[in-house]
Structure 1
Amino acid sequence: MYVADSRSTPATAATAAARDLGPGRRAAVAPTVLALGTVSLVTDVSSEMVTAVLPLYLVAGLGLSPLGFGLLDGVYNGFSALVRLVGGHLADRGGRHKTVAVLGYGLSALCKPLLLVAGSLPLIGAVLAADRTGKGLRTAPRDALISLASPEESRGRAFGVHRAMDTAGALIGPLVAFLILRQAVDGYDAVFTVSFCVAMLGVLVLLLFVPSRPKAPAAPAPDGAPRASLKAALALLRLPDVRRLALCALLLGLATVSDSFVYLLLQRRLGVTDRWFALLPIGTAAAFLLLAVPLGRLADRVGRWRVFLGGHAALLLVYGALLSGWQSPALPYLVLALHGGFYAATDGVLMAAAAGCVPAELRSSGLALIQTGQALARFCCSIAFGAAWTAWGDRWAIGTATAVLAACAATSFALRPASPAPAPGPAPSPPTAPVSKDTPA
């Protein structure tokens, strides 16, 4: 089996993994994917500890209105959009994917203890903006490393494995936060402190166990090959499939209500007490964990775009359940299972589809471009949803989000890329190498 080291190219890694297993057997997930999955697992334990208690800390502890929380939540989930293209560009220049990822993970880790001293809306907003800057820097380089280390025909599976490991951390994080809140006298301070320590462990794992992508070869690039630059990244929108993917991700992001609002709505419907609130994200994480790999493999077989749109159909059902007046003990299980299914069918699947449309030389930049549009749209959705909730109430807000999501899903179906998922086996030779060339196998 292929073992990643600093002398092997990502393409060689993918080819070796497939070849060493012999004919008729599925290619193993590359060691780079497993190492990055471990980093994400540890980091998500840290991040989800904070995410699990942050809504309650801000709304109940600091007395923020839903509009104020919507502004902060928009910053938390959307500010990274401002630096994703920069992170992708820096990673593509000279193949510094790991270096940029380390900077991003390290910055996010350093922000955790700052929450201990930030007690006002502006200060908390600044800390969350810095934390999301770190996430913006690291996401595209990390996903590019996954795609470059994986064969084209099994990228959905590779992203599914990574997202499953990432979500295992999301499952553990709220549990740790819940136990700390029950045992510690200063519960929130203890959560933020432990979160910082765990985040630094993730940075250490990244430094020690994730191989660096080798620098660009000394030989000159083929005539017309794309050079890493912000202009070249934006020029990717001229490619029809990239343009359609970016537009659809943006449209659907405009109607993707923040996880925190979903949990706050469930708390209101069911009267969940404060001490149990931190457990709600566990339901989403558990469903995501169980479904990420199966849905990733399904996307490789039946088409990534079909699975992606199917995930948004699950989100529509979440909104419908929250909008209905149904009072049942089964409601939280249904909502959280569908919510996790939505992420399993969309998060890694979108990146697997995008990786097949973007040349290897601009892989980080291309993935960042699509992620940027989606993040900006979700930023706008958080602010709009919080404002609608404050002005007209939660039922009106979720009803509007349902209608907007249905309209955006219908539009995205009409705009779907012509060939979002590759057929199994070797990819056909592209008509023009600079435009659609993928990692050689």
Structure 2
Amino acid sequence: MYVADSRGTPAPTGTPAPAAAPGARPGRRAAVAPTVLALGTVSLVTDISSEMVTAVLPLYLVAGLGLTPLGFGLLDGLYNGVSALVRLTGGHLGDRTGRHKAVAGVGYGLSALGKPLLLLAHSVPAVGAVLALDRTGKGLRTAPRDALISLSTPPEQRGRAFGVHRAMDTAGALIGPLLAFLILGYAADGYDAVFTVSACVAALGVVVLALFVPGHRTAPRPKPSPRPRPRASLRPAPAAPQADAGDGTAGDPGGTARAPDGRISLRASLVLLRRPDMRRITVCALLLGLCTVSDAFVFLLLQHRTGLADRWFALLPIGTAAAFLLLALPLGRLADRIGRWRVFVGGHLALLLGYGLLLSPWHGPALPYAVLLLHGAFYAATDGVLMAAAAGVVPEALRGGGLAVVQTGQALARFAASLGFGAAWTAWGERPALAVAAVALAAAAALSVRLRPADA
């Protein structure tokens, strides 16, 4: 049971309805559930910690530990791949145990544990192990966290809810790099100071999760006990209750697949791909992910086009984060109003326009601002909106695992895209590689328009 009243997530039998928020008018609902705001605060604090490390990590590895840029790219790709591989595990554990908050808490805890370990990692293998631990935590927490958001929000408001959460998350991504550069400028041992402050902030995020995020939800159904055979009756049997289409349970003749002991099985999440809408969403997310150039390469391309000095390179992500922060909530509301799939595909068209600007002969002073604005708009229109669209076709009992299926496919596709683009850049040069990526993205976007899910 959640703090917010939600049409899409009715309370289990026997659970009292939540009290109205202080000062709320009778019959009125809060614009965003308290659970969403609490999780947004956790993500804001955690992203401050994570982005502090992300902002200085390339310089630390290349200048401090002597890692080559190619080696850093491989390390970055590998630890992002670790995150993709464990996302399905996190979603499945949340569904199987019914404790999405607990599984997310383990993920946040692992990431927080990795921050102080960076103080002890003075070799590339040690840093790689710590980063793998951090990304394992991120992979475990992502799907259960998104499941908590979707389960606490009415179906017609999920785009707004995910937009609010992503906006708060991105506020942390905006603050983190700025805080890291301030510490580097004033601390004698800058890198260690950044890692220490990052560890303290990460621990604060875990505390906020434990104290302020509601942990109640519908418990996983136990194995049904055998019932005595009823006596014959002349009365007709009552009609079976209909599933709520808004939760994605309609059209599921077999119900939720469960293991012999009555618990939800991992196979149940994968079986969701048999549903046409779920399959279309996952396939489109995978194809578009394969054509998406990673953030690091976009920033490198922008630096090469503008001749930006190296000392300012690490501030480029702040431009993307600022655009994301400003646009996440408006685009989430727009997705609820005109359709999530339209906004999702439109976000990729914004990214395609950014690629076009990087390929164009334009060298005006507004170029970096325009590219970063489009880059941030891409994330604002796709990140939370995709999860809101997928939540509409996934049953409540499989919400975490179902969202993780989509997230895992997208993350693995983007991991492959990063490796492929890096190889193409090495073989052909940056402009031909980007041109191929742009053509592929245009084709994938056109296909996604044709494969639009009925309920998205």
1:313 aligns with 2:349: yes
Structure 1 equivalent of residue 383 of structure 2: 347
The match for 1:170 among 170, 173, 176 is 173
Q: Deviations over 1:245-298 (max 9, x none)?
A: 001111111122221222222223333334322321111111111111110010
The match for 1:366 among 402, 416, 420 is 402
TM-score, normalized by length of structure 1?
A: 0.87
Sequence identity of aligned pairs in percent?
A: 75
Structure 1 equivalent of residue 237 of structure 2: none
Structure 2 equivalent of residue 266 of structure 1: 302
8 Å CA contact 1:319, 1:398 repeated in 2: yes
1:207 counterpart letter in structure 2: A
Measured after TM superposition, the shift of residue 89 of structure 1 is: 1.0
115 and 322 in structure 1: CA distance in 2 versus 1, 3 angstrom threshold: farther
Structure 1 equivalent of residue 250 of structure 2: none
141 and 334 in structure 1: CA distance in 2 versus 1, 3 angstrom threshold: same
More divergent stretch after superposition (76-85 vs 311-320): 76-85
Structure 1 equivalent of residue 313 of structure 2: 277
For the residues of structure 1 that align with 2:402 and 2:282, how far apart are their CA atoms?
Answer: 10
1:73 counterpart letter in structure 2: D
8 Å CA contact 1:316, 1:405 repeated in 2: yes
The match for 1:34 among 22, 25, 37 is 37
Q: Deviations over 1:412-435 (max 9, x none)?
A: 222221221xxxxxxxxxxxxxxx
Measured after TM superposition, the shift of residue 198 of structure 1 is: 0.7
8 Å CA contact 1:150, 1:158 repeated in 2: yes
Measured after TM superposition, the shift of residue 17 of structure 1 is: 8.9
Structure 2 equivalent of residue 116 of structure 1: 119
For the residues of structure 1 that align with 2:331 and 2:19, how far apart are their CA atoms?
Answer: 22
Structure 1 equivalent of residue 280 of structure 2: 244
Structure 2 equivalent of residue 388 of structure 1: 424
8 Å CA contact 1:253, 1:374 repeated in 2: yes
Give 3-state SS (helix, strand or coil) of 2:10's partner. Answer: helix
For the residues of structure 2 that align with 1:322 and 1:239, how far apart are their CA atoms?
Answer: 39
Structure 2 equivalent of residue 99 of structure 1: 102
For the residues of structure 2 that align with 1:400 and 1:58, how far apart are their CA atoms?
Answer: 30
Q: Deviations over 1:45-104 (max 9, x none)?
A: 011111222234334544544432332221233321111111111111231101100100
The match for 1:377 among 404, 413, 429 is 413
**Greater helix share, 1 or 2?**
1
Structure 1 equivalent of residue 231 of structure 2: none
The match for 2:324 among 288, 310, 316 is 288
8 Å CA contact 2:4, 2:18 repeated in 1: no
Q: Deviations over 1:369-390 (max 9, x none)?
A: 0000000001111112222233
8 Å CA contact 2:86, 2:139 repeated in 1: yes
Structure 1 equivalent of residue 50 of structure 2: 47
TM-score, normalized by length of structure 2?
A: 0.84
For the residues of structure 2 that align with 1:274 and 1:209, how far apart are their CA atoms?
Answer: 41
Q: Aligned-pair RMSD on alpha carbons?
A: 2.6
331 and 60 in structure 1: CA distance in 2 versus 1, 3 angstrom threshold: farther
* Structure showing greater Rg: 2
8 Å CA contact 1:73, 1:382 repeated in 2: no
407 and 58 in structure 1: CA distance in 2 versus 1, 3 angstrom threshold: farther
396 and 124 in structure 1: CA distance in 2 versus 1, 3 angstrom threshold: farther
Structure 2 equivalent of residue 128 of structure 1: 131
8 Å CA contact 2:322, 2:376 repeated in 1: yes
The match for 2:359 among 323, 326, 336 is 323
Measured after TM superposition, the shift of residue 123 of structure 1 is: 3.1
274 and 62 in structure 1: CA distance in 2 versus 1, 3 angstrom threshold: farther
1:206 aligns with 2:209: yes
Measured after TM superposition, the shift of residue 129 of structure 1 is: 1.8
Give 3-state SS (helix, strand or coil) of 1:106's partner. Answer: helix
For the residues of structure 2 that align with 1:225 and 1:413, how far apart are their CA atoms?
Answer: 30
8 Å CA contact 2:53, 2:198 repeated in 1: yes
For the residues of structure 2 that align with 1:182 and 1:146, how far apart are their CA atoms?
Answer: 38
246 and 41 in structure 1: CA distance in 2 versus 1, 3 angstrom threshold: same
4 and 299 in structure 1: CA distance in 2 versus 1, 3 angstrom threshold: closer
51 and 17 in structure 1: CA distance in 2 versus 1, 3 angstrom threshold: farther
Structure 1 equivalent of residue 247 of structure 2: none
8 Å CA contact 1:67, 1:390 repeated in 2: no
Q: Deviations over 1:108-141 (max 9, x none)?
A: 1111233334344433332222211111100000
For the residues of structure 2 that align with 1:21 and 1:306, how far apart are their CA atoms?
Answer: 34
2:54 counterpart letter in structure 1: T
The match for 2:84 among 81, 86, 111 is 81
Give 3-state SS (helix, strand or coil) of 2:118's partner. Answer: helix
416 and 3 in structure 1: CA distance in 2 versus 1, 3 angstrom threshold: closer
Give 3-state SS (helix, strand or coil) of 1:316's partner. Answer: helix
More divergent stretch after superposition (205-214 vs 68-77): 68-77
66 and 218 in structure 1: CA distance in 2 versus 1, 3 angstrom threshold: closer
8 Å CA contact 1:67, 1:389 repeated in 2: no
For the residues of structure 2 that align with 1:253 and 1:165, how far apart are their CA atoms?
Answer: 24
- The unaligned stretches of length 5 or more in structure 2 are 225-240, 242-253, 259-263
8 Å CA contact 2:4, 2:153 repeated in 1: no
2:113 counterpart letter in structure 1: L
For the residues of structure 2 that align with 1:354 and 1:339, how far apart are their CA atoms?
Answer: 23
8 Å CA contact 1:160, 1:292 repeated in 2: yes
For the residues of structure 2 that align with 1:40 and 1:117, how far apart are their CA atoms?
Answer: 26
8 Å CA contact 2:111, 2:134 repeated in 1: yes
For the residues of structure 2 that align with 1:398 and 1:239, how far apart are their CA atoms?
Answer: 34
For the residues of structure 2 that align with 1:179 and 1:349, how far apart are their CA atoms?
Answer: 33
Q: How many aligned positions are there? A: 415
Measured after TM superposition, the shift of residue 391 of structure 1 is: 3.3
